[in-house]
């Protein structure tokens, strides 16, 4: 009886972890759209989700000969559907395809290097600025929705044992904002204004904390989060509007590559 109960408990726990992220991002999507209509359009977001899922399905099947899990593609699709803004449909589809394809192409020693949606969104913002911009809107005019999302997101991160990444990044961002103020003479509130928007929440909850594209050690994760905030500060001082995406685009894969290289070297040394 105990064994059976333990089994079901572990299944339930597994399910909770497995579906925590998609559940949270679905809540953000639905909540944001129903309360504030924050999407460019539902059709465009559905295009992103569908493109993402179909690409994952096709590439997973053709490349590896397996039926891939589609949860990650679903999350990527929603992230893309929320994070980029364009009056056209094709950028949503293309961004999703690039995001998913990056997992299959930009790999080293069995690991993909970039967070998929970070790769796709950064590439689109950099290469297609004529038709694509980033999410820049707010959760309406009330604090309550923003606070709810922060609380839910933080609780989910805690549950997944990744809250430390979020905490280090946010503290670093707030501290570096002071340095930016010293350089630019801006009001501190202005410097931290971007982090009050949903773009940062998605960035923090679904990009810098992505288990597959963060380094493995806790200390390393904290250091990388700090480094992302630092590079972001440099980019912000150079007036890069999408600084967080570009910072993660630069730091994330470099950190992963370094870790992979070090691990491989250690293995070689061990055997050599």
Q: List the interface residues with another protein, window 192-231 (CB under 8 A).
A: 193-194, 196-197, 199, 205-207, 209-213
CA dihedral of residues 28, 32, 35, 37 (deg, nearest 10): -150
In this chain, which stretch among 167-175, 191-199, 224-232, 254-262 interacts with another protein, using CB under 8 A? 191-199
Q: Would you count residue 43 as binding another protein (CB under 8 A)?
A: no
Cite the beta strand spans of 97-219 per DSSP E: 107-108, 111-112, 133-134
- Mask for 137-176, x = binds another protein (CB under 8 A): xx-xxxx--x------x--xx--x-x--------------
Residues in contact with 154: Cβ distance below 8 Å, sequence separation at least 6, in sequence order = 163, 166
Q: Is 157 exposed, middle or buried (0-12, 13-18, 19+ CB in 10 A)?
A: buried
The dihedrals phi and psi of 138, each to the nearest 5 degrees, come to -110, 170
Nearer to another protein, 4 or 66 (CB): 66
Q: What is the token pair recorded at 159?
A: 């549950």
By CB under 8 A, name the one of 49, 83, 132, 255 that touches another protein.
132
Token pair belonging to 62: 């053709």
Report residue 128 as tokens. 């297609």
- Counting contacts by CB under 8 A, is residue 121 touching another protein? no
User: Which residue, 31 or 197, has its beta carbon nearer to another protein?
Assistant: 197
Closest distance between another protein and the C-beta of residue 92, in Å? 12
Closest CB to another protein among residues 7, 90? 90
Q: How far is the CB of 72 from another protein (least distance, A)?
A: 4
The count of chain residues that interact with another protein, using the rule CB under 8 A, is 94
Site for another protein in 242-261 (CB under 8 A): none
Q: Is 20 in the site for another protein (CB under 8 A)?
A: yes
Q: What is the rounded CA–CA span in Å between residue 207 and residue 135?
A: 15
Nearest to residue 230, comparing CAs of 244, 217, 216? Answer: 244
Neighbour tally for 246: CB within 10 Å:
19
Cβ atoms of 228 and 252 within 8 Å: the answer is yes
| 208, 169 contact by CB (below 8 A) | yes
Of the pair 6, 143, the CB lying nearest another protein is at: 143
* Contacting another protein within 63-102 (CB under 8 A): 63-66, 68-73, 75-76, 79, 85-88, 94, 97-98, 100-102
Minimal distance, residue 144 CB to another protein, in Å: 11
Choose between 80 and 227: whose C-beta lies nearer to another protein: 80
């Amino acid at each position: 009886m105990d064994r059976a109960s333990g089994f079901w408990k572990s299944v339930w726990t597994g399910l909770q972890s497995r579906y925590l992220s998609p559940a949270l991002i679905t809540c953000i999507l639905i909540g944001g759209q129903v309360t504030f209509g924050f999407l460019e359009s539902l059709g465009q977001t559905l295009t992103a989700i569908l493109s993402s899922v179909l690409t994952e399905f096709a590439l997973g099947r053709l490349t590896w000969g397996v039926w891939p899990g589609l949860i990650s593609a679903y999350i990527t699709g929603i992230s893309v559907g929320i994070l980029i803004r364009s009056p056209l449909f094709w950028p949503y589809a293309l961004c999703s395809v690039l995001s998913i394809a990056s997992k299959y192409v930009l790999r080293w020693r069995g690991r993909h290097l970039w967070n998929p949606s970070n790769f796709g969104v950064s590439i689109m913002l950099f290469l297609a600025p004529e038709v694509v911009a980033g999410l820049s809107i707010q959760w309406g005019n009330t604090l309550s929705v923003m606070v709810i999302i922060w609380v839910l997101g933080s609780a989910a991160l805690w549950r997944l044992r990744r809250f430390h990444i979020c905490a280090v990044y946010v503290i670093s961002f707030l501290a570096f904002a002071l340095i930016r103020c010293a350089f630019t003479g801006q009001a501190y509130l202005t410097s931290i204004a971007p982090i009050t928007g949903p773009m940062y929440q998605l960035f923090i909850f679904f990009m810098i904390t992505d288990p597959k594209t963060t380094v493995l050690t806790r200390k390393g994760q904290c250091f990388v989060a700090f480094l992302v905030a630092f590079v972001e500060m440099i980019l912000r001082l150079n007036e890069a509007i999408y600084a967080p995406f570009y910072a993660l685009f630069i730091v994330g894969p470099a950190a992963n590559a370094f870790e992979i290289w070090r691990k491989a070297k250690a293995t070689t040394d061990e055997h050599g």
